[in-house]
Amino acid sequence: MNIKVWIHALRFRTLPLSLSCIGMGGFLAAADDKFDWSLFFLCCITTIFLQLLSNLANDYGDSIHGADSDARIGPARAVQTGAISSKSMLGAVILFSLLSLVSGILLLFLAFGNNWQGILFFFGLGILSILAAVGYTVGKKPYGYLGLGDFSVLIFFGLVGVLGSYYLFTQHVSWLHILPAMSCGLFSIAVLNLNNIRDIESDRLAGKFSIPVRIGKKNAARYHWILLIGGLLSAMSYTLIVYKSPWQFLFLLSVPLFLRNGLAVQNKPSAELDPFLRQMAISTLIFVLLFGIGLIIT
- The more confidently predicted of residues 107 and 4 is 107
| Res 1: pLDDT | 54
21-39 pLDDT, tens digit per residue, is 999 999 999 999 999 999 9
Q: Alpha carbon of 189 to those of 74, 196, 289: distances in Å?
A: 18, 10, 19
151-186 pLDDT, tens digit per residue, is 999 998 999 999 999 999 999 999 999 999 999 999
Fill in the amino acid letter for 222.
R
Backbone φ and ψ of 53, nearest 5°? -60, -45
Spatial CA neighbour of 27 closest among 169, 233, 146, 127:
169
Q: What is the mean pLDDT of the chain?
A: 89
| Res 80 pLDDT > 80 | no
Backbone φ and ψ of 252, nearest 5°? -65, -15
**Pick from 121-125, 140-144, 259-263: least confident:** 140-144
95-119 pLDDT, tens digit per residue, is 999 999 999 999 999 999 888 988 9
**Pick from 79-88, 124-133, 225-234: least confident:** 79-88
Counting every residue written for the chain, the total comes to 298
Half-sphere exposure of 241 (CA within 13 A, CB side): 12
- At residue 44 the predicted structure's pLDDT band, cuts being 50, 70 and 90, is very high
pTM for this entry: 0.90
| Res 72: pLDDT | 47
| Res 68: pLDDT | 47
| Res 130 pLDDT > 80 | yes
| Res 131: pLDDT | 87
* HEC per residue, the chain: CCHHHHHHHHCHHHHHHHHHHHHHHHHHHHHCCCCCHHHHHHHHHHHHHHHHHHHHHHHHHHHHHCCCCCCCCCCCCHHHHCCCCHHHHHHHHHHHHHHHHHHHHHHHHHHHCCCHHHHHHHHHHHHHHHHHHHHCCCCCCCHHHHCCHHHHHHHHHHHHHHHHHHHHHHCCCCHHHHHHHHHHHHHHHHHHHHHHHHCHHHHHHHCCCCHHHHHHHHHHHHHHHHHHHHHHHHHHHHHHHCCCCHHHHHHHHHHHHHHHHHHHHHHCCHHHCHHHHHHHHHHHHHHHHHHHHHHHCC
| Res 186: pLDDT | 97
181-226 pLDDT, tens digit per residue, is 999 999 999 999 999 999 898 888 878 889 999 999 999 999 999 9
Share of residues in the chain with pLDDT > 90 (%): 63
| Res 67: pLDDT | 47
Q: Indicate if the alpha-carbon torsion angle 275, 276, 277, 280 is positive or negative.
A: positive
Spatial CA neighbour of 280 closest among 207, 157, 188:
188
Supply the Cα-derived Rg of the chain in whole angstroms: 19
- At residue 54 the predicted structure's pLDDT band, cuts being 50, 70 and 90, is confident
Question: Terminus-to-terminus CA distance in the chain, angstroms?
Answer: 51
